[in-house]
Structure 1
Amino acid sequence: MEKSVLHKADTRGSADHGWLKSLQTFSFGGYYNEDRIHFGALRVLNDDTVDGGRGFGVHPHDNMEIISIPLEGELLHEDSMGNKAVIRRGEIQVMSAGTGIYHTEYNKNPSQPVKFLQIWVFPNQRDVTPRYDQIKLNTLDQRNILQQVVSPNKEDEGVWIYQDAWFHMGKFDQGNKAVYKLKKEGNGIYFFVLKGDLKVNDQLLHTRDGYGIWDIEEAQLEAESTTEFLIMEVLMEVQI
């Protein structure tokens, strides 16, 4: 029997550090909600805005798959593996933290904010050699179709991670419909609406709403307005 959880945009946790404004779907930092720790392997979904020229100083991570999706502006990344890169809207970045990495993230533009999604996924392998990847997406492939941007397979479209997870992005015109079929039995799907109005089965979602469903084989999607959204299929039973 289908199970679901709805996270309305205005129920998210929030943090305002002046230079950083963060809205948090799941418990993170100073925000704790025992009912919102994670959705299966999906541990963090932060909606961050960083002021011009500001950013996160050097800090560590380990044993986590970390995905960044810029929505606006330019995000400058540097890490202890020697990578230095700028990621922009239409690109996606992944780090497998594994045995441990240090990195910084800064807004490259001194006068404009940078907005991005910071997503953490529990890995299916611990203590792997840390790795970094970044690709440019063909955003035309998101128009009225589901574009795969993350998978567990190196040969597939998008970036890959150490988890049986598949992410897709879509930009649908009003009235466009699609069916999302799960890739793996036992997985669940978490939908996050970037803007617009999306109906998932019988549930209507609006800008920045999140909706998780599991114990299903597929989901029916319909754009109630011009909408952009992210679909995250993740393993529901994880060892934490």
Structure 2
Amino acid sequence: MIIPRIQKQCGHADFGWLQAQYTFSFGHYFDPDFTHYGALRVLNRETIAPKAACQAKTYPNINIINFILQRDAEFHDSEGNRIHQSENECLLLSPIPHISYSEHNVSHEKPLIQLQLWINAYVEYFCHPPQKRKLANLANNDALTLLASPNGSENNLKIRQQIWISHIYLKTEQSMTLSLKGKNSYLYSITGIVKLANNNHKIAYIHCSDNAFLMQEQKVKLTAQTDFRGILICLN
């Protein structure tokens, strides 16, 4: 089953220094039908004003995955550590209990645009040091790049959950068939328009900032209507 959800159906916030779109219930936004999707608890698209920073806070037992779409960012923790993250980088952070973290836009002139995921972590797994990698090599036209997996093999990030996260990059009219892991999957459009079709010929379209829940699907065909970048999350 393919269930699209357009960005207008999501939660939104505008605090001046921060503009955000919430796929799931977060902060002041609550939708009882969208509190999580399996282990996926949060997916926020955020624009942070120049020189602005999110208030320092502690986190529950989660994996934080941060995708920088434009500009550079830094995470600061209460022990004085700093983690720099550049544009087109993916950062996996395992927050340590009792340590607070804040996020900063290091640019004094331009807004930071990022996509942030919170994913439940297995409690018996220890916290990994921060891990980083490039989202994808767009110059090589890599259509599918595995970013994170439970094993952390093949230069992808090791995540404390049975989940696989990939970056998709398709040129206009380019198609690919995805073989999906686990029972359910989720597709988010970073930019562009893509057509989805399953084996039952169910068709849906998602645009920039839209998403689609892929439930009990083993394969889905994607066809880019424009140049398309997306994030695919496969959940066990």
TM above 0.5, one fold? yes
Q: Deviations over 1:70-114 (max 9, x none)?
A: 010111112246531221222111112254531111100011100
Question: In the TM superposition, what are the counterparts of 1:1-240 in structure 2 within 5 Å?
Answer: 3-80=1-78, 83-97=81-95, 99-126=97-124, 128-129=126-127, 131-140=129-138, 143=141, 145-184=143-182, 186=183, 188-201=184-197, 202-235=203-236
SS in 1 for 2:65: strand
Q: TM-score, normalised by structure 2?
A: 0.91
Partner amino acid, structure 1, of 2:215: W
Of the structure 1 ranges 48-57 and 73-82, higher mean CA displacement relative to structure 2 is found in: 73-82
Give the drift of 1:155.
2.3
The answer to whether the 8 A contact 2:135-2:167 is kept is no
Q: Which segments of 5 or more consecutive residues in structure 2 lack a partner in the other structure? A: 198-202
Report how far residue 144 of structure 1 moved.
5.1
- Among the aligned pairs, what percent are the same residue? 25
Change (3 A) 1:66 1:47: same
Residue identity matched to 1:108: V
How far apart, in 2, do the equivalents of 1:221 and 1:55 lie?
A: 37
Q: CA deviation at 1:32?
A: 0.2
Change in CA separation of 1:137 and 1:169 when aligned onto 2, cut-off 3 Å: closer
Deviation at 1:126, TM superposition (A): 4.8
Measure, in 1, the Cα distance between the counterparts of 2:77 and 2:159. Answer: 18
Measure the CA separation in 2 of the matches of 1:91 and 1:147: 13
Q: Give per-residue Cα distances to partners, 1:172-225, cap 9 Å, x unaligned.
A: 1111111111233x3x11111111111111111111111011212111111111
Distance 1:208 1:137, change over 3 A: closer
Distance (whole Å) between structure 2 residues aligned to residue 216 and residue 137 of structure 1: 25
The TM-score with structure 1 as length reference comes to 0.89
Q: CA deviation at 1:124?
A: 2.7
Against the structure 1 CA distance between its residues 95 and 144, is the aligned structure 2 distance closer, same or farther, given a 3 Å change threshold?
closer
Contact 2:125/2:160, CA 8 A, preserved across alignment: no
Cα pair 1:97 1:131 within 8 Å, conserved: no
Measured at CA, do residues 127 and 97 of structure 1 come closer, stay the same or move farther in structure 2, by a change above 3 Å?
farther
Contact 2:65 2:117 in 1 (8 A): yes
Q: Secondary structure at the match of 1:10?
A: helix
Q: Is the 8 A contact 1:195 1:227 kept in 2?
A: yes
Gaps of 5+ in 1: 236-240
Letter in 2 for 1:56: C
Provide the aligned length of Structure 1 versus Structure 2: 231
**CA offsets per residue over residues 31-62 of structure 1, 9 Å max, x none?**
00001111111110100000000011321012
| Residues in 2 aligned to 1:79 and 1:134: alpha-carbon distance in whole angstroms | 17
Letter paired with 2:45: D
Tell me: CA distance 1:141–1:180, structure 2 relative to 1, closer, same or farther (3 Å). Answer: farther
